Amino acid sequence: MIKNETRTIAEAHIHWQRFSVPYEYPVCFTENLFDPENTLLIDTLGRMEPEKQHRCIVFVDDGLDVPRLNDRLKAYAAYHRRRFDLVADPIPVPGGEKIKSELHFVESIQQELFDYHIDRHSYVIAIGGGAVLDAVGLVAATTHRGIRHIRIPTTVLAQNDSGVGVKNGVNFHGVKNYVGTFAPPFAVLNDIGFILHLPERDKIAGMAEAVKVALIRDGAFFNWIERNADALSLFERDAMAGLIRRCAELHMKQIAHGGDPFEMGSARPLDYGHWSAHRLETMTRHHLRHGEAVAIGIALDARYSVLSGLLAAGEEDRIAFLLENLGFKLWHPAIEKKSKSRSEELAVLQGLTDFREHLGGELTITLLAAIGVGVEVHEMNDSLVNDAIGWLKSRGKA
């Protein structure tokens, strides 16, 4: 009797607070975004308050042509001065992993928001690759508990993957994205013009995420990439635009309809090929670009999928051939580097531990059951991983 009474009293004092918040943001594809006659940016700023003059601060990846962007942005703001208040000249920030690996850059961006009195109805605009979007997005999400953030991705990888998602973050103690938030942007504005002027290496690197999402979600898209591999390897405009847009659509579909947009569970289905990729990036001090490391991880996990009996034999060769045809090299000497703490173990295997910790203690890795069909497993056999690495090495030396 006392036990039941205690249980009843305890239950009576539990108040479940439940509410939902709808998230909605446009992902747009355009060209000549900063042409004054192109109203996409100014219409985006006015989406909620059409007649207001909107205060904006802009951060630009220093790998871009900053002076030219500066002139174009100021001309655009002047043309639309009634609704666009550019509070300062666009502020250059380091591109690539440098901005994510040194926390003082985050502090300096935060200081700019403080100095210019950027409030919750102002806009923080980031123009650059995925690393710049990640770092600026983190600052926007944590200043005043959230300032409107507009992403203008300038790389293939950012336009087709990271830029359209809900993650922000920087690295800490060598762990990728250790400090971060889930915070959707206010808008994502993709300008194909940025892609056409990228260095070849960056164009190639960004295609890895398209191959990845095709492998786990859309076999027809994988077939399309195969059919268009020659055009993609030559970076033809229509082929690149098609690849970017379809890849972005698949990522958006997963976030909206996958059931776990903020990764509250133990799975990261869009991170196929990433457990080794993240580790390789760190081990090479980011000499391997993210997309380059992901391509290696895709091939490694495809071979592992075959060795573990999940994927039909020969499909890993098909996948590797496509990646190589697009311009990727599927071997790097760092893969064979030994662990400092366990000399008999490859250091890349630490990536499995990192994944397990990031996911809350349970390992969940996405592998392949077929082209276009991902499947989740909760353990990886070190011996089979080593065999898959041996297969990669033999291809790399062929």
DSSP states of 222-281: HHHHHHTHHHHHTT-HHHHHHHHHHHHHHHHHHHHHSS-TT--SS--GGGTTHHHHHHHH
So what's the pLDDT on residue 139? 97
Nearest CA to 128 out of 145, 107, 149 is that of 149
Question: What homologous superfamily does CATH list for 201-397?
Answer: Dehydroquinate synthase-like - alpha domain (1.20.1090.10)
DSSP letter assigned to residue 121: T
Tell me which of 311 and 177 has the higher pLDDT.
311
Q: How confident is the model at residue 11 (pLDDT cuts 50, 70, 90)?
A: low
Alpha-carbon gap, residue 220 to 302, rounded angstroms: 18
Domain layout of the chain by residue ranges: 27-196, 201-397
Q: What is the pTM of this model?
A: 0.89
- Is 268 within 8 Å of 253 (Cβ atoms)? no
So what's the pLDDT on residue 269? 72
- The reply to whether 201-397 shares the fold of 27-196 is no
Query: Is residue 44 predicted with pLDDT exceeding 90?
Result: yes
The pLDDT tens digits for 98-133 are: 999 989 999 999 999 999 999 999 999 999 999 999
CATH of 27-196, one of 3.40.30.10, 3.40.50.1970, 3.30.700.30, 3.30.930.10: 3.40.50.1970
Q: How confident is the model at residue 8 (pLDDT cuts 50, 70, 90)?
A: low
Q: Residue 316: what residue type?
A: E
The CA-CA-CA angle for residues 89, 90, 91, to 5°, reads 110
Range with the poorest average pLDDT among 6-15, 225-234, 302-311, 386-395:
6-15
Report strand pairing: 54-61 vs 91-93. parallel
Query: Is residue 15 predicted with pLDDT exceeding 90?
Result: no
Alpha-carbon gap, residue 259 to 242, rounded angstroms: 27
